[in-house]
Chains A and B, each alone.
Chain A
Amino acid sequence: MVRRKTFHWAWLFFCAIALLNPLQAELEVIAPPGMVRVPGGVYRPLFRSNSDAREIPVAAFALDIHPVTNAGFLDFVRANPRWRRSQVKRLFADENYLKHWAADLEPGEAASMNAPVTWVSWFAAKAFAAWAGKRLPTTVEWELAAAASPSQPEGENDPEFKKLLAVWHSSPSPERLPPIGTGRANYFGIHDLHGLIWEWVADFNTAMVTGDARGDSGLERQLFCGSGSLGAKDVGNYAAFMRFGFRSSLKADYSVHNLGFRCAKNL
């Protein structure tokens, strides 16, 4: 008798879950605070070898509205002593790690609380994201989000936007970085994807340049030789060329003065 009753309840529970599931899915598409939902889409790689896909589908995801600030990173190193400047292992961050901070727990003059944190390695960025319950965006996710101009999701149709990008990419970063969120938000409501810093992505080391198996010296020419850009998808997208070149020059322990990050999350 008891057994039969248990059986019954189990079924009821099962049905309830099945009924609630679509609802739950509906709820999940709302991005967590501080993040926005970037609808899925298609990313068309700038560089393709013959064996690469022409279009890469990207699932919807959440992305931080702003890059991580010095204040945010301070919380992280407070909570995780092994990521403090004096304690970090050389394997995970080179000797430039957080070098503009005044002390382990004090960003100081050169790094205002509201400015994006830079001089952080890929490992540190990844550890921050994990600590925050998030992850780093992938290259395709980042590029999809960053392709949007202030007025439209596909910024490549916006000449004004492309001109702005080119201007930023041809001007050096200021010694002391300005605060986040001063520029216009893009179509998705995201700030500072361009014009403030470069950003780490989870799979930065998939940007192939050297030492590859199958004739990627061709790819290398495309990246670094001016005339090579004629072979690429969009010759006007100078900014994207710069990003690819930059990513492929990075190593995971590098800490650079204008390289920070923001986090992403699955929806």
Chain B
Amino acid sequence: MNHSSPWVGLDTQAPASPDTGVGGFPCVVDVERTSRAVLTRARNAVAILVAIGFLAGSCSTPPRESASAGKPSCCLTNLAPSAPFTDKSLYQLDSIWTNDVGQSITLGAMRGRLQVVAMFFTRCTVACPIIVHDLKRIEAALPKDLQSKVGFGLVTLDTEHDTPEALHRYREAAQLAAAQWTLLCGTPDDTLELGALLGVKFKREVSGQFAHSNLITLLDENGEIVYQIAGLNQDIQELVTLIRRGVR
């Protein structure tokens, strides 16, 4: 529970299939399983790190790069993992999230790239498709060489229905490239907290739909909020310009 602690990324030990381990359950992280996974991984990681240490010096080696090969790569960071997060970095949150292939990650895993993030839910028929469309517009407006340097994040508000599988189906239906897009679900509490940080207000309605703010947030490499677009179908030019400038 140390907010200033360096980035910790947690992988479930499952290396592969999208539905490993989390099938059918609401998106709540199984802490026991995760900690077991950490132990297993820790043992492996020590061996690997020792080896790397001999070969190259371990300072700049992100511990989870190899693990995320072939996965939606939210996590290819260039920064030394031990550098503390800045004071206003969202990445200080300890909360553990699950992506659409069932990996557990902390938000700190997104460090090192600019991120354009929004909160949504997959069953949303009104606003969210437009939010996602807006994110795609931003992606399309970027020059090719920048596209790989920017991540897009969607975090669900519907912690009950949006399981990793549901998110994965959404990714496929909406054709969100694995290399750029990260889809996450978390516990209700953590989701509320992230909403509070981003300024996204939301409320579940009787119908199971959510009333929610429409906000697109640009985070810098350190996870600090640099710019927000409120509303749907807004002008994206300012945000795109900020990304082009590399936001420092």
| Residues of chain A at the chain B interface (Cβ within 8 Å) | 49, 51-53, 82, 89-92, 122-123, 126, 202-214, 216, 248, 251-252
Contacts and interface: CB of A to CB of B under 8 A. Distances in A.
Given A51-B205, A91-B87, A91-B89, A211 B197 contact: no
Nearest to B204: A206
5 contacts: A51-B205, A89-B4, A91-B87, A91-B197, A212-B212
Contacts of B231: 211
B213 interface: yes
Contacts of A206: 201-203
Contacts, number: 82
A212 B3 contact: no
Given A51-B207, A89-B87, A205-B202, 11 more contacts: A89-B3, A91-B89, A123-B193, A204-B196, A205-B201, A206-B201, A206-B202, A212-B201, A212-B214, A248-B201, A252-B196
Q: For chain A, what secondary structure do more than half of its interface residues adopt (helix, strand, loop), or is it mixed?
A: loop
B230 interface: yes
B211 A49 contact: yes
A135 B223 CA distance: 27
Contacts of A122: 196
A51 B193 CA distance: 24
Contacts of A49: 205, 211
Interface of B: 2-4, 87-90, 92, 126-127, 189, 192-193, 195-197, 199-203, 205-207, 209, 211-215, 230-232
A210 B200 CA distance: 10
A83 B105 CA distance: 25
Contacts of B206: 51-53
Nearest to B215: A211
B18 to A, nearest CB: 29
Contacts of A248: 201
Contacts of A209: 201
Contact of B3 (A92, A207, A210, A216): A92
Contacts of A126: 193
